[in-house]
Amino acid sequence: MFESAELGHKIDKATYKREIPPLREALLDAQIDLLQSQRFPVIILIAGVDCAGKGETVNILNEWMDPRHIETHAIRELTDEEQERPPMWRYWRDLPPKGKIGIFIGTWYSSPLIENVYGSIKNAELDQNLERIIRFEKMLCDEGALFLKFWLHLSEKQQKKRLKSLEKDPSTSWRVTDTDWKHFKMYDRFHQVSERMLRATSSPEAPWLIVEGSDPRYRYLTIGKAVLQALRQRLDAPEAPVREEPYPPITLAIDGLRILQTLDLSKRLPKSEYQEELEKWQGRLNRLSRHPQFKKISVVVIFEGNDAAGKGGAIRRITQALDARLYRVTPIAAPTDEEQRQPYLWRFWRHLPHRGRFAIFDRSWYGRVLVERVEGYCSHVDWMRAYGEINDYEEQLVRHYTVVVKFWLAIDREEQLKRFKEREKIGFKRFKITDDDWRNRDKWEEYELAVCDMIDRTSTEIAPWTLVEANDKNYARIKVLKTLCTRIESSLGKDSGN
Amino acid sequence: MFESAELGHKIDKATYKREIPPLREALLDAQIDLLQSQRFPVIILIAGVDCAGKGETVNILNEWMDPRHIETHAIRELTDEEQERPPMWRYWRDLPPKGKIGIFIGTWYSSPLIENVYGSIKNAELDQNLERIIRFEKMLCDEGALFLKFWLHLSEKQQKKRLKSLEKDPSTSWRVTDTDWKHFKMYDRFHQVSERMLRATSSPEAPWLIVEGSDPRYRYLTIGKAVLQALRQRLDAPEAPVREEPYPPITLAIDGLRILQTLDLSKRLPKSEYQEELEKWQGRLNRLSRHPQFKKISVVVIFEGNDAAGKGGAIRRITQALDARLYRVTPIAAPTDEEQRQPYLWRFWRHLPHRGRFAIFDRSWYGRVLVERVEGYCSHVDWMRAYGEINDYEEQLVRHYTVVVKFWLAIDREEQLKRFKEREKIGFKRFKITDDDWRNRDKWEEYELAVCDMIDRTSTEIAPWTLVEANDKNYARIKVLKTLCTRIESSLGKDSGN
């Protein structure tokens, strides 16, 4: 894979001097178009062999373009706020919004590479990590990001020469560390693992671009031109190309039997039993939240359900049991403009809890495959890929000691009508019935289909859906509390698997 | 001060049971009005004597109202990200946006109180801390926040009784710590310092409300009713009351002589000298950024100036000298909707750098006293108070090991006209001349007055303005670099004072 990057590419000074001014002009031009159109974010990764000039290259890109609209992120020690979240959280925080450029040095490739070279993870685990990276990058691309991944390569001879020359010059000698020499002695091993990694993670949307690193002029010019070309291509393409829909939805339930219909919505809990059960389960939940092991996990609870199914009431039965310092309830409304400039999952990553805390979502990332699907806010391809993206997201949470509990609160059409009418009569503003509610009701069938698909595609062993029969509020609330307790109990004291 | 809170207030069970349902109803009602109108944020502090029921009270408020629109923040260990910023940063992060309620337990009062009681800060320093708190709270109130500060009080006898009864019950004994008993033995001292603190920080906008803590029913009902009353008063007041302008601006420069006019804009730097100086100062800046002591400070650089004064070019001469991993340039554009729901300084607090980093602002918080003043985007009272608020803000930065460097780039009307015309001719999109630019130009006089006021009122010993003669770009760029280097040098190795 590195053959073409060991040919001794060189650009002479005169050519360089001649080519730079128009390149800079064109790059600035493209950057302004990007900024003004705000059509997509640009993510540039700069990775490669030690001392192949990654930092210098990033500095040049900042110099050539307008640094006010570039954010550079280097790998560094995790802060404790980052340690309490899944490993990718730090990168989500740093994603550039639409119209901006984010440059990452090192990034999500660093630790799998190093760990495999050092032997702390085997090839199978390396491949598992790479597979996750592929899915992450694909998601970003599908969400519109322009992705450029540069790998700066040096042959063994070139690297040795470079380390020595940096070391000799007093102004750069500080840049060569013992680790660099240690890694140099492991050149073959690094070479081998890097190749495996690049091969596995080069995709049509986000290909690796391998650049010979020994001649700075060649390196800068190559990368500058590649960035320009990619930017220009995307900017000049027609806006928001309509996605083809190659795979129209296929109906499986030819007999009309759906999972939601199997629920016995007549389930009831008499008031007398309810009070007793409520105290019992709320007490249990409270004790669990003060369990010594609870500090090591976090809990994400999401509520979805038909309109008027009683999500708010169920949430309140949970928060009543907890110290207010331990939870945060996030109602999901329309995204803010900062959120609209990011991939759709970004606004949920923001709200992930510290360890020892609960994050409760009133509606959630499943909006993508429910309201956005039914109302046509995103294309078929977009919501189809969301199932996998959501599963990946939840897998990351679970791997990072998070208990993910998902409730679908189900009521039937008659019960909903009854509740709508009651609300209209009482006229509480907090239960205001809007035209939207009535409109959603007219799409009952479509929503039901979407819910069934959602359950089939995202109810996983690590993050199962709990369907809650909610025609009777008391029954629903107790089932919610009981499920939550059981899930937390079964995770306490257990190490999260991989 | 605590006389009325030692009278043995009690509410009997029957009264409580009768009063709660309508109170809850009214609170929920007010909360929905708040949420829908998004007129102001509500900040509730719950402080007081150990074990006076702070946590329980917060839980009750969450239970009575809709927890989806309340955020509860307890004092806890600082994270390392917080430690790298001024102490108030953590609270700025947690401020509720308009329409929401933020409840804080402990808060900014805790550490001055404890430190003074323990004797690690003297009264003078306590008063200094309290003065800063007063100014912080006043700013939030002026920015529209509804502020409620509850102090839960227990007499010495009541506290002893409470500690013992908590200790006796196995389900609550964990809540009584050795520290609680230690503090109890210092009751008189706590009493004395708390009183001093409450007295000093009770203001018309944010008065302390002292509540006897021994009877839970009395405590809950009192606080619930107070919250309701305050919410209702504000919600029912006419929207956006027009502020009176009691102090119309007074003109001092009766002879028409202004600071900006004293600048010698004919200052030039020949190109030959420029190249040499540029290399010299960029080299120096680069070395400073790699100075071992540099990791302990951070640098905030802000650029203001006439349109077309060359801010972008000057910024680029700084970034060229630095490793891209060490700086972030933030161009200040219109606030996002998340920013609009917060006090105007909030969006600048967000961008404060880690230690060892530069934050460069292209325009800044001074927009408040420049464009917002001249264009009438805020009232006279609002921009007049901004001078003090900005000085307070910068003082916090400086006290927290931040070098604050502020540049005003000045050109004259002729030079601006020349540059506007050049830009129109070349037609670079990045230098697009808009109608706004021409309009601002017509208001030259008003802007000049605003700039002079700004300099007089915010050029301080700890964060002075540097006026840069910018008719000649080369001269301006070198002056900027030189000033920046000198300011960093003078702060390296020195401890920041108090």
Across B47-66, b (16+ Cβ under 10 Å) vs e yields bbbbbbbbbbbbbbbbebbb
Mean pLDDT estimate for chain A: 91
Nearest-by-CA chain B residue for A332: B68
Q: Is the pLDDT of residue A496 over 50?
A: no
Taking contacts as CB-CB distances below 8 angstroms, the residues of chain B near A72 are: 324-325, 328
pLDDT of the residue at A378: 87
Q: How many CA atoms, within 13 angstroms, populate the side-chain half-sphere of residue A370?
A: 21
Question: Is the CB of B429 less than 8 angstroms away from the CB of A36?
Answer: yes
A317-349 pLDDT per residue, tens? 999 999 999 999 999 988 999 999 999 999 999
* Cα-trace Rg, chain B: 27
Nearest by CB to residue B28, choosing from A80, A103, A430, is A430
What average pLDDT does this structure show over B194-199? 92
pLDDT of the residue at B496: 38
Minimal C-alpha gap between B431 and chain A (Å): 10
Minimal C-alpha gap between B259 and chain A (Å): 30
pLDDT of the residue at A495: 43
pLDDT of the residue at B247: 59
A/B interface, count of CB pairs below 8 Å: 112
B204-248 pLDDT per residue, tens? 888 899 999 999 999 999 999 999 999 999 999 887 655 555 556
Nearest by CB to residue A80, choosing from B33, B79, B316, is B79
Question: Is the CB of B315 less than 8 angstroms away from the CB of A67?
Answer: yes
Nearest-by-CA chain A residue for B81: A79
A21 membership: H or E segment, kind and range:
helix A13-37
What interface predicted TM-score (ipTM) does this complex get? Answer: 0.85
B431-456 pLDDT per residue, tens? 677 888 888 889 999 999 999 999 99
Give dist(CA B206, CA B136) in Å, integer.
11
Q: Which of A57, A62, A101, A104 is the mutation pick for testing B, counting most B CBs within 10 A? A: A62
Q: Which of B66, B81, B285, B347 is the mutation pick for testing A, counting most A CBs within 10 A? A: B66
Question: Is the CB of B324 less than 8 angstroms away from the CB of A72?
Answer: yes
pLDDT of the residue at B26: 95
A298-311 pLDDT per residue, tens? 999 999 999 999 99
Among the ranges given (A117-131, A223-237, A240-254, A449-463), the one the predictor scored with the smallest mean pLDDT: A240-254
Place of tokens 């331990």: A326
B373-394 pLDDT per residue, tens? 999 888 888 898 999 999 999 9
> The tokens of A249 are what?
């939805």
Q: Are B362 and B312 in contact (CB under 8 A)?
A: yes
B412-432 pLDDT per residue, tens? 999 999 999 988 887 666 667
Q: B134 pLDDT band (50/70/90 cuts)?
A: very high
Minimal C-alpha gap between B484 and chain A (Å): 18
Taking contacts as CB-CB distances below 8 angstroms, the residues of chain B near A327 are: 67
Taking contacts as CB-CB distances below 8 angstroms, the residues of chain B near A330 are: 68
Taking contacts as CB-CB distances below 8 angstroms, the residues of chain A near B338 are: 336-338
What are the start-end ranges of the E strands in A13-125?
42-48, 70-74, 101-105
| Portion of chain B with pLDDT greater than 70, in percent | 95
Taking contacts as CB-CB distances below 8 angstroms, the residues of chain A near B324 are: 55, 58-59, 61-62, 67, 70, 72, 103
Q: B494 pLDDT band (50/70/90 cuts)?
A: low
What average pLDDT does this structure show over B480-490? 97
Question: Is the CB of B331 less than 8 angstroms away from the CB of A68?
Answer: yes
Nearest by CB to residue A32, choosing from B29, B72, B430, is B430
Q: Which of B62, B64, B68, B432 is the mutation pick for testing A, counting most A CBs within 10 A? A: B68
Of B354, B293, B303, whose CA–CA distance to B489 is shortest?
A: B293
For residue B342, is it left (φ>0), alpha (ψ between -120 and 50) or beta?
Answer: beta
Residue B168 burial (C-beta neighbours within 10 Å; 0-12, 13-18, 19+)? exposed
Question: Is the CB of A325 less than 8 angstroms away from the CB of B105?
Answer: yes
Across B99-130, b (16+ Cβ under 10 Å) vs e yields bbbbbbbbbbbeebbebbbeeebeeeebbebb
Q: Is the pLDDT of residue B187 over 80?
A: yes
Nearest-by-CA chain B residue for A430: B32
pLDDT of the residue at A303: 98
Q: How many CA atoms, within 13 angstroms, populate the side-chain half-sphere of residue A360?
A: 27
Minimal C-alpha gap between B254 and chain A (Å): 41
Q: B498 pLDDT band (50/70/90 cuts)?
A: very low
Minimal C-alpha gap between B11 and chain A (Å): 22
Taking contacts as CB-CB distances below 8 angstroms, the residues of chain A near B320 are: 63
Q: Is the pLDDT of residue B280 over 60?
A: yes
Cα end-to-end span (Å), chain A: 32
Question: Is the CB of B36 less than 8 angstroms away from the CB of A429?
Answer: yes
Question: Is the CB of A430 less than 8 angstroms away from the CB of B66?
Answer: yes
pLDDT of the residue at A327: 96
Nearest-by-CA chain B residue for A432: B32
Q: Are A40 and A146 in contact (CB under 8 A)?
A: yes
